[in-house]
Amino acid sequence: MATTHAKTLSPAAGDLMLMVGTVKGAFIFLCDGKRGDFKMSGPHFPGQSVWSAAFIGKGAPRIVVGNKSNHWGAMVSWSDDFGATWNEPTEGNVKFPKGSGESLSAIWALEAETPLGPDVVLAGVDPAAMFRSDDRGETFRLNEGLFKHPDRPKWNPGFGGLCLHSILVHPCEPGRMYAAISSGGIYRSDDGGESWNACVNGLRVHPDVPGATLCPHKIRFDGENPSRMYLQSHPGVYRTDNEARSWVTIENGLPSDFGFPMVTHPRHGGTIYTFPLTSDEFRVPRDGAPRVWRSRDAGGSWEPLGKGLPDRDGFFTVLRDAFSADALDPAGLYFGTRGGQLYGSNDEGESWRAITEFLPPVLCVKTAVVH
Amino acid sequence: MIEVPLATGARTTAGEAIEALVRDYPGIRDRVLDEQGELRRHVNIFIDGNNARFMGGLKAEAGADSEMWIHPALSGGARS
């Protein structure tokens, strides 16, 4: 299997696309449904960091990305031809209100194809806030309810900033949605985003830091039951079975309670994946042997998956948005590293291969099956 | 590099000059300024060779014959 470069990509229905954001641009990978050889294009937005990406497959296909120039600021850009050309908004399209005192740093999350509608794109940003687009990512407006939440003064930026990194919209009740903020907590809205309540019962804060706030790293819905969610936190790995009213720890059996991503199987309830790191203080795989850890019983037990991954001298980190599953059967899994490797598995994590090894540090990996 | 002559009157400020530029280049405001109207951290404006950041920022004055340069700053470091 090989990965070859292509100036432009022309997907067919059923093809798999990986949208990979790095600190120096975005790369798009394409293969057919058999997931053999990939073609890659990029870098798109050379020199800019690309923190988030999403695919709108209904209607005319569109890729949206959250790109950031360290000089000229951050924005949502879009391509209607799979990256052959890009549209950057003339004026910034994700902006805090004048007089609010806040200015956009980066767009950490983009969610499209949610139950809110085919034209809706949600954005999670640093400093922590949510924005909504009703025109397929071209213009956005601030979610005032979360922005004015009384907890806001207690939120504190982590190493990565004060980021709203996870947005989940309930698949059957679109008025119910969740947002996770580092460091801030997990919030749920039952009225379409008008009001938000903290959902942190059972979570623990860092025991050694007085005044520390909750720092969820990634939340995901269960593949079958949206009342159930999973959380990789800082520290801890958790599950909720009651729509985030309370959380229980599921880290027993893992080599560490620290990591960034949380991935769930697209169909099999209870099957989840993490990428544990040694500790908060030493953010690399234990003993230099990177492993994906899988549970098939909702966190009751865990098994390491490492066939094809380095057995030694593998000291890379996988960030929270750099690990995703595809929707094919069997499910494919993909993660990018801060060392620039992109690994993939066609067999639900049983074995892994390097799709490419020399990218800039990877910030996000998103998948889409072209309709 | 794009050179743009601006008819801004005898004296103008850096901020007023940017607004004059916006008429022909509407995208420039949000690239140079953030949404609170502040000069972005890694963008510098020079007026006749002097850094406007030390001359009052966007209120720095320019004369009728002044040259104003908008530069991406030379910056970087471990996170780049």
CB-based contact, B30 to chain A, within 8 Å: yes
CB-based contact, B5 to chain A, within 8 Å: no
Nearest C-alpha of chain A: how many angstroms from B46?
A: 16
Contact A102 B40 (CB under 8 A): no
Please give the Cα distance from A29 to A37 (Å, whole number).
10
Judged by average pLDDT, the poorest of A87-96, A237-246, B52-61, B66-75 is B66-75
What local confidence, expressed as pLDDT, does residue B75 receive? 66
- pLDDT tens per residue across span A15-70: 999 999 999 999 999 999 999 999 999 999 999 999 999 999 988 999 999 999 99
Contact A71 B43 (CB under 8 A): yes
What local confidence, expressed as pLDDT, does residue A207 receive? 58
Q: What is the CA radius of gyration of chain A?
A: 19
Which tokens go with B55?
């001359």
The mean per-residue pLDDT over the stretch B53-65 comes to 92
What local confidence, expressed as pLDDT, does residue A174 receive? 86
Nearest C-alpha of chain A: how many angstroms from B36?
A: 5
Contact A72 B72 (CB under 8 A): yes
Contacts with A306 (C-beta within 8 Å, 6 or more apart), sequence order: A289, A290, A291, A292, A352
What local confidence, expressed as pLDDT, does residue B76 receive? 61
Which tokens go with A51?
């923190």
Please give the Cα distance from A69 to A244 (Å, whole number).
36
Which tokens go with A339?
């060392």
Q: Where are the domains of chain B?
A: 11-72
B chain contacts of residue A106, beta-carbon cutoff 8 Å: none
A-B contacts (CB, under 8 Å): 50
Tell me the pLDDT of chain B averaged across its residues.
Answer: 87
CB A106 within 8 A of CB A64: no
**Which single residue is written with the structure tokens 């979610």?**
A143
Q: Where are the domains of chain A?
A: 47-369
CATH 2.130.10.10 is right for the domain spanning A47-369: yes
CB A178 within 8 A of CB A222: no
Residue-wise over A162-200: b if at least 16 C-beta within 10 A, else e? bbbbbbbbbeeeeebbbbbbbbbbbbbbeebbeebeebb
CB-based contact, B71 to chain A, within 8 Å: no
Please give the Cα distance from A313 to A285 (Å, whole number).
9
What local confidence, expressed as pLDDT, does residue B80 receive? 47
B chain contacts of residue A76, beta-carbon cutoff 8 Å: none
Would the pLDDT of A75 be above 60?
yes
- pLDDT tens per residue across span A203-259: 887 655 555 678 999 999 999 999 999 999 988 999 999 999 999 999 999 999 999
pTM: 0.95
- pLDDT tens per residue across span A138-149: 999 999 999 999
Closest CA to B61 of B7, B17, B4, B2: B17
Q: CATH top-level class for B11-72? A: alpha beta
> Which residue from A23, A71, A91 is facing B30, i.e. has the nearest CB?
A91
A chain contacts of residue B36, beta-carbon cutoff 8 Å: 96, 98-103
Query: How many residues are present in chain B?
Result: 80
Q: Which chain A residue has the Cα nearest residue B26? A: A90
Q: What is the DSSP letter of A287?
A: G
